[in-house]
């Protein structure tokens, strides 16, 4: 199993997933973005994007898809719930990507990535307000549980946790007590510490 990886990208989430499972894997570390023309990466993923996971003949791209694939690939680790909880598990995985990440990305673009001349303060403020509205839903959900699905850590915690790391860097977690406690709890996990090193 091989993971094409670049630090400070979504690939950290995939590396974290692998570390949670403690499965042997080869890490192909690339500099972003200049080394994404790596021929072996391009052969596996013509878009030249990280993360890209190669598992025998199977190629999986997109960090959330990789996380869910790995949880199913190694069921003994218990990071995917029983069938009767799968609807909630998948709902959270897609919620992070569809309801949270677009607003966070827009805020990042308007406050960090774009040049001063390109930034739009109204769009930044709107993205922040929308992200915080969605984050309040997560905050309320975490008020009486340790993890998204209850008291047991699962792969959707890797997916959400990776996004929260980005939000924390942008100082968007202040005032969300339960999210803040959750963030500290999952980032103290040895697997995350190893993945982020």
Contact yes or no for 149/88 (Cβ under 8 A): yes
Alpha helices in 24-85 (DSSP H): 39-44, 63-73
Span 144-173, pLDDT tens digits: 999 999 999 999 999 999 999 999 999 999
What does the pLDDT read at residue 35? 77
Separation of CA 145 from chain center: 20
Span 96-153, pLDDT tens digits: 999 999 999 999 999 999 999 999 999 999 999 999 999 999 999 999 999 999 999 9
Q: Are strands 26-29 and 2-5 parallel, antiparallel or unpaired?
A: parallel
| Average pLDDT score, the chain | 95
Q: Which domains does the chain have, with CATH numbers?
A: 2-77 (3.40.30.10), 83-196 (1.20.1050.10)
Instruction: Provide the 3-class DSSP secondary structure of residue 61.
Output: strand
Q: Tell me which of 87 and 7 has the higher pLDDT.
A: 87
Q: What is the pTM of this model?
A: 0.94
What does the pLDDT read at residue 34? 78
Structure tokens at 141: 């959900």
Separation of CA 177 from chain center: 20
Give yes or no for residue 197 having a pLDDT over 90: no
Rounded Cα–Cα distance for residues 164 and 63 (Å): 14
Q: Give 196's pLDDT tier (boundaries 50, 70, 90).
A: confident
């Amino acid at each position: 199993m091989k993971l094409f990886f670049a630090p400070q990208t979504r690939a950290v989430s995939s590396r974290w997933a692998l570390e949670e499972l403690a499965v042997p894997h080869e890490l192909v570390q690339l500099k972003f973005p200049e080394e994404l023309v790596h021929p072996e990466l391009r052969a596996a993923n013509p878009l030249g994007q990280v993360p890209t996971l190669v598992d025998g003949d199977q190629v999986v791209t997109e960090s959330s898809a990789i996380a869910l694939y790995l949880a199913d690939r190694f069921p003994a680790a218990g990071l995917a719930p029983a069938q009767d909880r799968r609807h909630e598990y998948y709902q959270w995985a897609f919620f992070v990507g569809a309801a949270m990440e677009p607003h966070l990305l827009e805020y990042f673009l308007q406050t960090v990535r774009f040049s001063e001349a390109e930034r739009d303060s109204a769009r930044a403020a709107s993205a922040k307000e929308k992200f915080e509205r969605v984050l309040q839903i997560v905050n309320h959900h975490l008020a009486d549980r340790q993890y998204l699905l209850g008291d047991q850590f699962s792969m959707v915690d890797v997916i959400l946790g990776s996004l929260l790391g980005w939000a924390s860097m942008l100082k968007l977690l202040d005032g969300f007590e339960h999210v803040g406690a959750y963030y500290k709890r999952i980032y103290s996990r040895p697997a995350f510490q190893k993945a982020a090193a």
